[in-house]
Amino acid sequence: MKLLLVDDSPIMRQMIKRYLPQRVKESWSVVEAENGLEGADLFEVERPDLVLMDLTMPVLDGIGASRRILEFDPSAKIVVISGDIQKKVVEEVLALGVLTHLPKPPNAQMLQSVFDQYAPQ
């Protein structure tokens, strides 16, 4: 299994990796991108089973990256993790076809729930 983690903050990427469920840490590979363009490009090459996507990033934001990924693969599983929790923004990303929106920073319980619901077993 493969996880694509897209966030421009190295500290946030480390934090998210620290809170991943134990089964994911043991058996998944994690590919990281530091902006939306890099994330969308990596998605096409790596074909991850799940994407954790920030929204506010340089080069291409998470909305644009998610749109591009879902155009490439409509069955892509994307979970947005963002500090932007405005109702309008949450509705916009959900309308794109992402699975859910989590507030930043996520905790271990939130990530466990995401993997329980959306990740292949």
Domains located in the chain, CATH noted: 2-116 (3.40.50.2300)
- 3-class state of residue 2 by DSSP: strand
Task: Name the one residue in this structure whose structure tokens are 């469920």.
Answer: 21
pLDDT of residue 97: 92
pTM of the model: 0.93
pLDDT per residue rounded down to tens, the chain (121 residues): 999 999 999 999 999 999 999 988 899 999 999 999 999 999 999 999 999 999 999 999 999 999 999 999 999 999 999 887 778 888 888 899 999 889 889 999 999 999 999 987 6
Q: What is the DSSP letter of 47?
A: -
